[in-house]
Amino acid sequence: MAFDPAAETAHYIDSLGPEALQKAASYTTASHWLLLGGLIVAAIVTWIIVRSGLLERVSAKVQNRAWALRTGLTCLTYFIVSAVISLPWSIYQDYYFEKSYGRTSQPFADFLLQNVIGIALSSFLGGLFFLGVYALIRRAGKSWWLWSGGLAAFAAAATILLSPILIEPIFNAYKPVPEGPVRTALLMMADEAGIPHDRVLMFDGSRQSNNFTANVSGVFGSARIAISDVAMKQASLDEVKAVTGHEIGHYVLGHVWRSVLVIIFIAMLGFFLADRVFNRVAALFGSKAKVGDPEGLPILLLIVSVLGIFAQPVINGVTRMGESEADAYSLRTVNLPDALAAALVKTAEYRYPRPSALQEAIFYSHPSVEKRVRRAMEWKAQQLQKAGTR
């Protein structure tokens, strides 16, 4: 009987069983509603902070100090206070919701501790970034949005470069992949892609999440490939090879730079539109702040987050393209279509494999597992055909 990619694909997806598929569908849909919930929470937090006049008071307390100190302090206060007010929501979204679907086994205390560290870190970095934005508004005037888009790209590139060295080790332990056939295979693949051996790592992803993942992070000297211990435990040697082939694809094809370009474009557009509507939104919240006042940061960020939701389909479209290319790279170089399909099916537990076209276009950062498995099976069919005609 001839090899039928469609039937093979259906077989892979159905192997999850109706119950797991149903659970994945409900998890995926619920997590999309959480995006809307997050936006409503952001609006409420904005309202509370603006109406309380907190930022004006902080700024007034240090009004005789240098502009940079006043602005930086106001921004920092906003980030910390808004994170603290939204903490119950993030506990629900990032902990109880994940837990209710069995996606995490992290003890609550550990989650909370890491969350607090995350808040401190992001408040500091966010404060620093917006200090830069307000400096640009001061210096560049009307064209601030253009410069701020550039600043966003710079911040993104710096984060990408430094995150594997400074940020990721705070939350997870990275260590060399232990000796054995997996390590041997991974190092051979790393050699082909020109990645040094000490940059092929495994990390305790199981600390936060039961998701089957691997990732490439960093650039230049900081670039590295890391596989979660969850993937290491659940995957066969061939599956690890196929997944690593995908990750090396991202690295070799320079997808991270494409993301930086998208960030420049989206940030410029976002800041431009925010500039146009700022006064009207501020009035809605009863604030007299102008776009260049750090006291107006809650308003500015709310506008940017609402716009960000609308930009999501564009961003997702670009990342889906990269994911397809990385799959194709894995098939081309590692040529293990069945192992890739089997590994992909394991990620379907937290990304429903059969979304509607609309759902996929709007919300999916990866093409649906069904599509990806189908492409792997079509590749396999091609290979079989080639072997047959030889």
Q: Which is nearer to Zn ion, 242 or 326 (CB)?
A: 326
Question: Phi and psi at residue 174, in whole multiples of 5°?
Answer: -105, 130
CB of 241 to Zn ion, least distance (A): 15
- In the shown chain, the binding pattern of residues 291 to 330 toward Zn ion, with x for contact by CB under 5 A and - for none, equals --------------------------------x--x----
CB of 250 to Zn ion, least distance (A): 6
User: C-alpha angle with apex 313: 24 to 41, nearest 5 degrees?
Assistant: 75
Q: Which is nearer to Zn ion, 248 or 326 (CB)?
A: 326
By CB under 5 A, the count of residues binding Zn ion is 2
CB of 247 to Zn ion, least distance (A): 7
Q: Which is nearer to Zn ion, 119 or 256 (CB)?
A: 256
Q: Which is nearer to Zn ion, 223 or 300 (CB)?
A: 223
Asked if 262 and 318 count as a contact pair (C-beta separation under 8 A), the reply is yes
Chain residues 326-365 in contact with Zn ion, contact rule CB under 5 A: 326
Within 8 A by CB and 6+ apart from 171, the residues are 114, 117, 118, 207, 208
Q: Which is nearer to Zn ion, 250 or 380 (CB)?
A: 250
Q: Which is nearer to Zn ion, 300 or 340 (CB)?
A: 340
Chain residues 150-209 in contact with Zn ion, contact rule CB under 5 A: none
CA dihedral sign, ordered 319, 322, 327, 330: negative
SS3 category, 34: helix
250: nearest Cα among 204, 202, 199, 319:
319
CB of 316 to Zn ion, least distance (A): 13
CB of 2 to Zn ion, least distance (A): 31
* C-beta atoms surrounding 371 within 10 Å: 21
Q: Which is nearer to Zn ion, 123 or 319 (CB)?
A: 319
Tell me the longest C-alpha to C-alpha distance in the chain: 83
Residue spans of alpha helices (H) in 53-107: 54-61, 67-85, 87-91, 97-100
Within 8 A by CB and 6+ apart from 88, the residues are none
CB of 340 to Zn ion, least distance (A): 12
Q: Which is nearer to Zn ion, 59 or 213 (CB)?
A: 213
* C-beta atoms surrounding 68 within 10 Å: 11
C-alpha–C-alpha distance, residues 31 and 34, integer Å: 5
Asked if 111 and 95 count as a contact pair (C-beta separation under 8 A), the reply is yes
CB of 365 to Zn ion, least distance (A): 9
C-alpha–C-alpha distance, residues 128 and 112, integer Å: 24
CB of 255 to Zn ion, least distance (A): 8
Question: Which residues contribute to the site for Zn ion (CB under 5 A)?
Answer: 323, 326
